[in-house]
Structure 1
């Protein structure tokens, strides 16, 4: 699927840059963490058309509530910007105001601190595809939710459906930043997590603590432009986790333009993912995982796509893994094949790609690139159908424009042997054939 001009190829990148600014500016916030993260791979309208979650216009909302940590009170009506709540407590599960389909909650800028011992309970909420329940930043402002080590999870969403969280920062959590899992009454389904920064989770004594955790019967969620970093939790913190037990596995999720770094365990860990509901990771980055930066260490994989047994069936497309302490991309014994297309694995501690597991048919890797990984490009290469990857073509040096973070990091230079070296897999590209790796040369 060749593109006819660089203009059309770059249009998506320009749009991505615009979207990345959403929610910035406006009221100043306190105690925010400023981080410099690498650009996600250039968007090329990949795979399947990106689903656009329905955004409820305030004029069409069933109810609109406002939460203002500076000028609000939980004794207010909460139904206008002039009479806001102080915290989310009045609209949490089993509280005074029960959120329903089409309701919108606006979080004003500033630091939102929790009251009492509990965390934010958004369980058992039921929106619809046309009328989701939305909790989001007030336009032009960036709220910060400081859990301050209260309760267990930062935000609990057990059994919730069609709930959208958008445009805020969440920090200082004992266990999971966001736990979206089944309830005793049924699964969690079709929630949206967008333009979030989640950090310093897994800070308690519990063994587990992830940025976002989908566990058990938790299906078909959409995660876009979410950054998850600094997970500790006794070596078991991941940026994004999919898990379960027995036949209660989670899956069917889509991650786009997400970043995971400085997690003590893995960046993306799909350890017990449902192979009948494969998940997709697109244009995402995992780096410096395997340590939280404070001495806690774990597995250290960028993208872990299974956990043995009946797991796997996932796909990574145009993803980047670098400076992780173990593998860049790890099949981790999955018994159902995973697919790795246009992925770049650079300077990870062991191998760029690991294809462990007895899959039938084999895993699939196409147009991917591995360079300067500690022990080599590929581990257990007999377990993968490998098509036009850097290790198939004996490319010793991909000739990156830059190997330290910044502009043009891990992008190809003119004359690189990776340009036009790939195979057409039905996705957009420039030139005579696709380039290798996550970034098409422009």
Structure 2
């Protein structure tokens, strides 16, 4: 039982001085009426209950003083309307912890039109159009730790999880779970007439779980129609009866690293259209497996690629397909292809191809100097999708130095470096071996201890946490100090079975850097509100 002193401190911690700008709204009261009184730096806490009103933002916050609309700590208020539920048309806002139930509405659930807006730890569900629509005028947007699902229009009509329109800039889509959308989980949109210089720019998509159980009634995990500059890192995509990831038109300057793409009809497609060639595509340390038809990776009208240290396994289709206007310029090196159909090249192909591993797979026109061939690369457990190398793997030390960290005389082939529990991908990103676990587990964070200035940390800053889900359930990962006070909730959402990654950036729920010291990360898993499993790990922050 909490002591009266602890309860008082907790209330003070979350609510502060009401006169200093924190207010509450309860069921039966109007959220919009309370919002109209807020000034930059103020917070409105929403108590648990259902609110049948669309939210309008009355004014902008300021840099360093955003206006915050968030759920009261420990409560889950629901916004339930069939029209657009949130029209984010002011700057510097944080919306946190709300449930947006669209109730089958045919409009976009949330529209983001302005700058410096964060949507965090929210749940969006049950719509017939897009969950989040980002206008061309939007920039500096963060969507993090949200769950977005069941946005389904009808057969032949799109309904997406998140759509970012041409002209938008600096969006970060981080650590969300998006599933069962009738269109794409995430779409970067541009029309056929949009010029490349007007595409969206500087988009980050990292740490998300994107999947569907709807079969052919969903489209893609990622559909890029207009982006110039995008990082796709450490995501998991699966279940699509189409392409898991398709990049169309003249998209360029895209890096895909440390992703797991599996159990889909097709893997990744890069395709220029309408006289717009794609260029500057980088695929590094991705794992693509259990692809059933057509291809794992396809190129058509693409120039200047780097395909490095990827693992392709169990591809009952072509490993690489080059067709149409083909692939012009680049390098394909240090990849490991296992138990796959042959390469198919019917278009122009001019790349440096060497030092790849072909195990029970036919390289054909991609055969190159220093290639390794055989029947078994000796993965740790290919049946359970663990594609780390065993100590006796012939793929060890068989690559060439491409600037990626390695142990031994030379780099290993494929996505994983033997003897490195967590290896750095491009830009210093951390990759952890993947394999569907049989049990729940919370692994030790890496790096640990960690500094907010540590060069080993991921691009988003901080330390990565890896957790295993032995079966689907609702998982909560939260950071606590040694006094038992919750510092930050990293994830509170449904998660499928599998291995997942999150990053803690060393900040508390309010966005402030934490003090140096020891913290606990606690993971709990529930199924129908019953506690299934829990575990905690110590984490050390140094400054």
Q: Is 1:283–1:318's contact at 8 Å kept on the other side of the alignment?
A: yes
CA shift in 2, pair 1:155/1:365, >3 Å? same
2:273 is the counterpart of 1:320: no
2:192 is the counterpart of 1:239: no
In the TM superposition, what are the counterparts of 1:2-17 in structure 2 within 5 Å?
Answer: none
Counterpart of 2:133? 179
CA shift in 2, pair 1:244/1:410, >3 Å? same
Q: Is 1:149–1:204's contact at 8 Å kept on the other side of the alignment?
A: no
In the TM superposition, what are the counterparts of 1:377-388 in structure 2 within 5 Å?
Answer: 377-380=319-322, 383=327, 385-388=331-334
Q: Is 2:295–2:315's contact at 8 Å kept on the other side of the alignment?
A: yes
Structure with greater contact order relative to length (CA < 8 Å, sep ≥ 6): 1
Alpha-carbon distance, 1:81 to partner: 4.9
TM-score (structure 2 length as normaliser): 0.57
Q: Is 1:173–1:204's contact at 8 Å kept on the other side of the alignment?
A: no
Distance 1:220 1:420 in 2: 39
Which consecutive segments of 4 or more residues in structure 1 shift more than 6 A?
57-62, 82-85
CA RMSD for the aligned pairs?
Answer: 3.3
Consecutive unaligned residues of structure 2, counting only runs of 5 or more, are 1-13, 36-42, 338-355, 361-375, 422-543
CA shift in 2, pair 1:88/1:372, >3 Å? same
**Which structure is larger by alpha-carbon Rg, 1 or 2?**
2
Distance 1:224 1:413 in 2: 32
1:251-296 Cα deviation digits (max 9, x unpaired) = 32011111211171111111x223xx31011111111112xxxxxx
CA shift in 2, pair 1:81/1:134, >3 Å? closer
CA shift in 2, pair 1:422/1:176, >3 Å? farther
CA shift in 2, pair 1:112/1:82, >3 Å? closer
1:375 aligns with one of 317, 325, 331? 317
1:87-122 Cα deviation digits (max 9, x unpaired) = 4947524xxx4352311111243351413x412233
2:291 is the counterpart of 1:337: no
1:223-273 Cα deviation digits (max 9, x unpaired) = 1101111112xxxx1111111121242232011111211171111111x22
Deviates more, 1:253-262 or 1:106-115: 106-115
Distance 2:117 2:61 in 1: 10
Alpha-carbon distance, 1:402 to partner: 3.7
Consecutive unaligned residues of structure 1, counting only runs of 5 or more, are 1-56, 128-132, 138-142, 291-299
Distance 1:74 1:395 in 2: 64
Structure (1/2) with the larger strand percentage: 2
Deviates more, 1:413-422 or 1:97-106: 413-422
Counterpart of 1:112? 78
In the TM superposition, what are the counterparts of 1:418-429 in structure 2 within 5 Å?
Answer: 418-429=395-406
CA shift in 2, pair 1:307/1:81, >3 Å? closer
1:173-218 Cα deviation digits (max 9, x unpaired) = 1111111122xxxx21010011111111133577221111111211
Q: Secondary structure at the match of 1:176?
A: coil
Distance 1:67 1:353 in 2: 51
Counterpart of 2:480? none
Counterpart of 2:56? 92
2:30 aligns with one of 50, 64, 74? 74
Matched residues, number: 344
2:241 is the counterpart of 1:302: no
In the TM superposition, what are the counterparts of 1:134-213 in structure 2 within 5 Å?
Answer: 134-137=94-97, 143-158=98-113, 160-182=114-136, 187-204=137-154, 207-213=157-163
CA shift in 2, pair 1:90/1:177, >3 Å? closer
Deviates more, 1:188-197 or 1:247-256: 247-256
Alpha-carbon distance, 1:394 to partner: 1.7
Alpha-carbon distance, 1:84 to partner: 8.4
Alpha-carbon distance, 1:60 to partner: 12
Q: Is 1:181–1:214's contact at 8 Å kept on the other side of the alignment?
A: yes
2:238 aligns with one of 284, 287, 290? 287
Q: Is 2:54–2:85's contact at 8 Å kept on the other side of the alignment?
A: no
Q: Secondary structure at the match of 1:100?
A: coil
Distance 2:174 2:151 in 1: 19
1:230 aligns with one of 176, 180, 188? 180
Alpha-carbon distance, 1:376 to partner: 2.6
Counterpart of 2:379? 400
Counterpart of 2:291? 348
TM-score (structure 1 length as normaliser): 0.69
Distance 2:404 2:16 in 1: 39
Q: Secondary structure at the match of 1:265?
A: coil
